[in-house]
Structure 1
Amino acid sequence: MKLQSLFALLIIGLSCGTVSAQVNLKDLRVKPDSVISENKQENISLKNIRPVVPKLELQVDYWKHWTSFGVNINQAAFNGDWKGGGVGSTAVGLIANHKSDYTRDNFNFVTEIDLRYGKIKNNKQIAKKNNDRIFWDNKLSYKLSAKWALYTSLTFESQFDAGYKYKQVDGKDTIDYIENAFMAPAYITESLGFEYKPSASYSIRFGTGTARQTLILDNRIKPLTVEQYSQKYPDRAPIDKDQVRYGVEGGKTVQNDLAFQITGNMDKNFTDKLNVKARYNLFANYKKVTDPSHRLDVTVTAKVSRAINVNLNGILVYDTDVISKVQLSESLALGLVYRLPR
């Protein structure tokens, strides 16, 4: 009984203490309209600050450029006592290629230059060229869809040096006659049509409206009329009809043709050391559309090291304006190549 009374008194004491504490805390509360700080509040003014942003002057470069040039050298020599057969020779070839690509939105412009020149000199023979080409292609296109585009192009083709036909006279090489020279012939081709490009490595152009000018600006190769031939060569037997060379009629230096053209391009890296580049061109003159001319150029490049390549080049030409037979050319060379960008 005493324990219960003691417990009751303890509870009553705690309750009284709590009520007293609440009364004291109530007196310490701050009224809503009271001012705690003695300092008067000052008006705060906000000022707009414009930070200085430095000009980075960043520009987007829509151009891409690739350049390569190289030299191929082959040499063989034998002394007078060599019985294994063979002919001493020296061959030098120069190659230069440049490509620029401009792409912005749906517009694309590509210009490509391919220059090749080489000569070979066999012992006791005249030095002869074994490679000679000037090729410059320019194409402007507007993309119509993911794979199709409308394009226009301008292409120039010729050679650097004169090419001769040779014959043997008393066991020695002698020039028989000249076959071609710089700007004789030269081809300028303008084309308009559609391009199909399924990937960056392949493309094919359909030139529904194509014009080509064939130029012969060297008088040694210029075709002659019957009268011009008799005046130039009075000691030779006369000809019975005007000459025609590379499709250019006698007495003319320029021949204009309208045609349908197909141009296929491939430039693909099959591995990091093997590249195949090919270009096929079909030119069908509307005057003789059933007898088009064909040209196929293929270059296989195998990289031996960063600066040494092995090049296999092949050319196939069929053009009845030149000769009614298939012309073939092949060359294999090991040479130094320098590329930009590295």
Structure 2
Amino acid sequence: MLAGLGTAQAQTPAPAVAAAAPADTVSPWKTKFKGSLNVSQALLSDNWKGGGVSFLGLNALLNAQANYRREKHSWDNQADLLFAFANSKGQGYRKNLDRLFLDTKYGYSISGDWDMFASLNLLTQFAPGYEYGKDANGNEQARLVSSWFAPAFLTAAYGFEYHPTTYFKVRLSPFAPRFTFVNRPERFLTSVGAEPYGVQPPRELRREWLAVQVLAEFDKEIMQNVNLKGRYLLFANYQELAFKNIDHRLELALTAKVNRYINVALTGIALYDRDQDARIQGSQTLSLGFLYTFQNYEDKKQP
């Protein structure tokens, strides 16, 4: 019996070795895309007594993000494009909004909410922009005030980023050299000034080596199907450090989804840059149109 039991024990197969846990297959990349195309239109007959003119307006927006994070390292990339125009009877084509913003940033985590970072961003526009007025004879005239890479701002920033939540972050850059490009500045001498956007003709480049930059971004669904996105940019040259010489740019976009593909959008931009104008500049648009969004991850819920 004992011998038989021993034999039975010897023949009992060894328990199977547990399979190794699969390697983490979650991608370190988070990508996000948002695109919208909004159209406004009015068509009036030649004998319409209510007043007004026929017009066609178009507003296009594209925002693409590709962000990498692994352990303490991160690399965030963003392209933010906006273009709007209206074509009115008797006035023709006129641009309303025009923005090209590209940003890339490398970060190294030093705590849960803080990173050290180095970034490079470009801000310019696509198409020529005009200022409309009347000459001494009362005839309407258009003066060229901006164009492709006129101006364009290329800023390299180094500092610390604070990101307490997924929808808000602010970069503090005590060292942020900026290069201002004005392609063919002689075109703007009569419309912008003797030094268009701070560039002295015939030079096409202005260098500001000692400067500070603050960049804050907010992007959150503030209620069901309503998203608020904002960006604030501050830039100051240490050599001209006075309140009136500090540049400010604030952009806000409120988007409400009617359904999966239809949205209503309200956008606004406020800008103060003494090299452009001594007063605050502003623009605002309200539009209805098509919206498409895609991302390969789920946002974490935040309070």
**TM-score higher than 0.5 here?**
yes
Pair 1:330 & 2:284 matched: yes
Pair 1:281 & 2:247 matched: no
Inter-CA distance 141–341: structure 2 relative to 1 (3 Å threshold): closer
Look up the SS of the partner of 1:221 in the other structure: helix
> How high is the TM-score relative to the length of structure 1?
0.76
2:57 aligned to which of 91, 95, 98: 91
Provide the rounded CA distance (Å) in 2 between the counterparts of 1:329 and 1:49. Answer: 73
Q: Give the share of equivalent positions with the same residue, in percent.
A: 31
Give the equivalent residue in structure 1 for 2:184.
Answer: 218
Q: What RMSD, in angstroms, separates the aligned Cα atoms of the two structures?
A: 3.0
Provide the rounded CA distance (Å) in 2 between the counterparts of 1:126 and 1:36. Answer: 105
The within-5 A match list for 1:41-60 is 59-60=25-26
Pair 1:141 & 2:74 matched: no
Question: Higher relative CO (CA 8 A, sep ≥ 6), structure 1 or 2?
Answer: 2
Q: Does structure 2 retain, via aligned residues, the 8 Å contact 1:67–1:97?
A: yes
Aligned AA (1:260): V
How many residues in Structure 1 have an aligned counterpart in Structure 2? 287
Look up the SS of the partner of 1:287 in the other structure: helix
| C-alpha displacement of 1:249 | 1.3
Aligned AA (2:100): I
Pair 1:265 & 2:209 matched: no
Pair 1:310 & 2:264 matched: yes
Once the two structures are superposed, residues 171-212 of structure 1 have per-residue CA deviations (whole angstroms, 9 ceiling, x without a partner) of 87543x211111111110000011111111111111011000
Give the equivalent residue in structure 2 for 1:236.
Answer: none
Give the equivalent residue in structure 2 for 1:11.
Answer: none
Give the equivalent residue in structure 2 for 1:248.
Answer: 199
Aligned AA (1:299): A
1:300 aligned to which of 254, 265, 283: 254
| C-alpha displacement of 1:58 | 6.2
The within-5 A match list for 1:99-110 is 99-110=65-76
Provide the rounded CA distance (Å) in 2 between the counterparts of 1:57 and 1:150. Answer: 29
Q: Does structure 1 retain, via aligned residues, the 8 Å contact 2:186–2:202?
A: no
Q: Does structure 1 retain, via aligned residues, the 8 Å contact 2:30–2:295?
A: no
Look up the SS of the partner of 1:153 in the other structure: strand
Give the equivalent residue in structure 1 for 2:299.
Answer: none
Gaps of 5+ in 2: 297-303
Q: Does structure 2 retain, via aligned residues, the 8 Å contact 1:125–1:173?
A: no
Pair 1:319 & 2:273 matched: yes
| C-alpha displacement of 1:107 | 1.5
> How high is the TM-score relative to the length of structure 2?
0.85
Look up the SS of the partner of 1:246 in the other structure: helix
Aligned AA (1:125): Q
Aligned AA (2:70): R
Inter-CA distance 147–56: structure 2 relative to 1 (3 Å threshold): closer
Provide the rounded CA distance (Å) in 1 between the counterparts of 2:194 and 2:170. Answer: 36
| C-alpha displacement of 1:101 | 1.3
Look up the SS of the partner of 1:127 in the other structure: strand
| C-alpha displacement of 1:165 | 2.2
Provide the rounded CA distance (Å) in 2 between the counterparts of 1:323 and 1:130. Answer: 18
Aligned AA (1:328): G
2:39 aligned to which of 57, 73, 76: 73
| C-alpha displacement of 1:250 | 2.2
1:155 aligned to which of 121, 143, 146: 121
Inter-CA distance 168–121: structure 2 relative to 1 (3 Å threshold): farther
Provide the rounded CA distance (Å) in 2 between the counterparts of 1:127 and 1:328. Answer: 20
Inter-CA distance 55–104: structure 2 relative to 1 (3 Å threshold): closer
| C-alpha displacement of 1:104 | 0.8
Give the equivalent residue in structure 2 for 1:17.
Answer: none
| C-alpha displacement of 1:77 | 1.4
Once the two structures are superposed, residues 87-126 of structure 1 have per-residue CA deviations (whole angstroms, 9 ceiling, x without a partner) of 2111012111101111111212111111111210111112
Which has more radius of gyration?
1
Look up the SS of the partner of 1:83 in the other structure: coil
Provide the rounded CA distance (Å) in 2 between the counterparts of 1:131 and 1:222. Answer: 19
Give the equivalent residue in structure 2 for 1:233.
Answer: none
Pair 1:117 & 2:83 matched: yes
Provide the rounded CA distance (Å) in 2 between the counterparts of 1:66 and 1:173. Answer: 44
Provide the rounded CA distance (Å) in 2 between the counterparts of 1:151 and 1:216. Answer: 28
